[in-house]
Amino acid sequence: MRFYNQAHRFYCGVDLHARAMYVCILDHERGDIVVHQEIPCDAAAFREIIAPYRDGLVVACECLYCWYWLADLCHDEHIDFVLGHALYMRAIHGGKSKDDKIDSRKIAQLLRGGNLPIAYAYPKGLRETRDLLRRRMYLVHKRAELVTHIQMTNSQYNLPPFAKKLVYAKNRADLDVAARFTDPSVRQSIELDLALIDKLDELIGTVELYLERTVKVDDAETFYRLRSIPGVGKILGLVLLYEIHDRARFASEGQFLSYARLVRPHKTSMGKTTGGGGSKIGNAHLKWAFSELACLFAREDEQAKRFLAKKSSKHNKAKALGMTNGQARVQSATPN
């Protein structure tokens, strides 16, 4: 957990929502409240309310879906902006009473006291492409759901399993999937799934082509260096590039491991393990990428094959593969 501890003349805590925001500004010397007011989510209104305190002001809000515009506004206005880590903030300033007014004051107080846990405010420019890449993942999941529904329907009627993977369009055409279902309603349901899968294939292909062209403009050198790692293809290369963004933002390897959800947290007291926690804090997309990379890396790289075989002789295969994941992580962290 990292905290923002820089000194400023004024500290602005914002409880941000889609249509309204509650603003609380504290002075540095005594912590007195100089502004505590609800305003609409409008750039002009925000500029007006902070105008008397612009000199030495820092603005903080909680990390939630609508923080983009506020961060970009502060950047354009040359105002320091801090993004608070939502889960850590909730653990620190939780209380019996909670509303927008209280939350804005607590954010400002945490900021002034150097106790505001910070998240990474992904900068404008690459952030939009990263979000499009995540949207592609949503489409891929929807396609997988449709393929799974076809397979489950096939099992419901005790039909022979499909000889080829349905995720590929050529295999679906060769198998003539809908024809094996005799009931007209069932066949109609399967044809609907197939039509949606074909459309998703088209959309995913369009998005991937756009992403590949965009990354060549954003950072082609790093992208191709990532592609040189055994097992890293176009999609894994894109995910690693845009989700990590800047390796320098991690002070240590341990911070990066924690961010990528590659560390198994545990809690101890008086020498006894009392449980775990925080396993879902971090970047789920990087966790997925490294999990995929571990399998592909062990398949493509001879050194990784020997490492996996050595660890498998001492541990179970799953644990050995997790160790191989660490080796793949080192490879991916090198080219930047």
Angle (deg, nearest 10), helices 127-156 and 234-244: 130
Domain count, the chain: 3
Q: Report d(CA 210, CA 220) in Å as an integer.
A: 14
Q: Are residues 211 and 266 in the same domain?
A: no
Q: Are residues 34 and 114 in the same domain?
A: yes
What is the identity of the amino acid at 165?
K
Q: Is the residue at 233 inside a domain?
A: no
Q: What is the mean pLDDT of each run of 10 residues along the chain (336 residues)?
A: 91 96 94 95 96 95 93 96 89 75 93 93 93 96 97 95 93 92 96 97 97 93 92 93 92 87 78 72 90 84 79 72 59 49
Q: Is the residue at 63 inside a domain?
A: yes
Q: Are residues 168 and 211 in the same domain?
A: yes
- Which of 119, 137, 153 is where one domain is finished? 119
Paired with 273 in beta bridges are 268
Q: Report d(CA 302, CA 183) in Å as an integer.
A: 51
Q: Is the residue at 234 inside a domain?
A: no
Paired with 116 in beta bridges are 4
Q: Are residues 108 and 155 in the same domain?
A: no
**pLDDT at position 90, please?**
79
**pLDDT at position 276, please?**
67
Round to the nearest angstrom and report the end-to-end CA distance of the chain: 25
Q: Which residue has the tokens 């947290």?
A: 265
Q: Are residues 104 and 27 in the same domain?
A: yes
- Which of 65, 95, 119 is where one domain is finished? 119
Q: Are residues 133 and 65 in the same domain?
A: no
The token pair that represents 222 in the structure block: 């790093």
- Which of 85, 103, 119 is where one domain is finished? 119
**pLDDT at position 88, please?**
85
Q: Is the residue at 224 inside a domain?
A: no
Q: Are residues 329 and 279 in the same domain?
A: yes
Distance of CA 217 to the CA centre of its chain: 22
Q: Is the residue at 236 inside a domain?
A: no
Q: Is the residue at 235 inside a domain?
A: no
What phi and psi, each to the nearest 5 degrees, are found at residue 80?
-65, 135
Find the domain containing 170 and state its range.
Answer: 127-219
Q: Report d(CA 203, CA 183) in Å as an integer.
A: 30
